Structure 1
Amino acid sequence: MDEVLTVADVSSSTRSTASIPSSSFSTNFPLICAFLAFALAQFLKLFTTWFKEKRWDSKRLLGSGGMPSSHSATVTALATAIGLHEGTGGSSFALAVILAAIVMYDASGVRLHAGRHAELLNQIVCELPEEHPLSNVRPLREPLGHTPLQVVAGAILGCIVSFLMRSSRPT
């Protein structure tokens, strides 16, 4: 005998299979890894700035540029965590890898050169005579981008964070 499905049967079946288990922010492994890598990279900038310039600069906690690249650490941790958590064959991993590549390329390319342009423009403005209308313009932010070494250091940091977080996770 053929089974007859009612609208209520189909509706309840669809709800039970299509519903995604509610996952709170605190259990989202890739997101936690990304935020942790970002925070750690920003924190490390305090020490790399001290090592390079022999001064503590608390602005480095929130600023862009510097060693290691927090942008690279964030997107690499995200891609690595997705690969570890969901596997490398899915669309999420592909999307995260492409996002990471674009962010790291931009950080060491466009943003690095924009920072160098800002440095040059600031120098030009400083040399203007006082009566020039642009002589009192607020300086442009210079540390915008990253050197390739800073990007690679951030990427390595992001991978390490994800691998360490995975090994410390309860199974």
Structure 2
Amino acid sequence: MPFLAWFVSGTCKFCINYLQFGKKARTLVGYGGFPSTHTTIISSVVFLCGFNEGFDTSLFSLGLGVLLVLIIDAHDLRRKVGQQAKILNSLQKINEIKTNILLREKMGHSWLEIIGGILLGAGLAFIISGV
């Protein structure tokens, strides 16, 4: 299930980026964008547990806890890392530091990207579970 969720989410993300940015899409797939691949992977497993084992089980509850931690990380922590990268890159330019290393500024996810990942993961789990 996790591999399928990763593949479907990554494919969706690439197609959306390709429609928006053309050939530049290859450089944009990664730590951001719609849908959130991390959220898709974890939510697919969590919802598959819910559909197969029940939504009132300890296993589903544990998975939901992990999913919530991942969502907090994806939205808050990684977005702040992206903001720091933007500041560090601008400092390199201001101080004319010659380096070939620019930090990736697009990190983390918006709430829409996270919700998209949850819905995609839940949908895949629903299809796989055969409910």
Instruction: Answer whether TM exceeds 0.5 for this pair.
Output: yes
Whether 2:65 is the aligned partner of 1:98: answer: yes
Unaligned runs of 5+ in 2: none
Equivalent residue runs for 1:104-115 within 5 Å: 104-115=71-82
The RMSD of aligned alpha carbons is 1.9
Give the number of the structure whose residues are more often helix, by fraction.
2
Equivalent residue runs for 1:6-85 within 5 Å: 32=1, 34-59=2-27, 63-85=30-52
Whether 2:92 is the aligned partner of 1:162: answer: no
The aligned residue for residue 116 of structure 1 is 83
Q: After the TM superposition, which of the residue ranges 85-94 and 103-112 deviates more from structure 2? A: 85-94
Higher relative contact order (CA 8 A, sep 6+): 2
Q: 2:93 aligned to 108, 113, 126, which one?
A: 126
Unaligned runs of 5+ in 1: 1-31
| CA–CA distance in structure 1, aligned partners of residues 83 and 16 of structure 2 | 20
Aligned residues: 131
- TM-aligned CA deviation for residue 59 of structure 1: 4.6
Look at both structures and tell me which one has the larger radius of gyration over its CA atoms.
Answer: 1
TM-score, normalised by the number of residues in structure 1? 0.69
Deviations along 1:87-141, whole A, 9 cap, x unmatched? 1222211110000011011101110121122122212212223xxxx43261112
Q: Which amino acid aligns with 2:4?
A: L
| CA–CA distance in structure 2, aligned partners of residues 47 and 115 of structure 1 | 23
Q: Which amino acid aligns with 1:82?
A: C
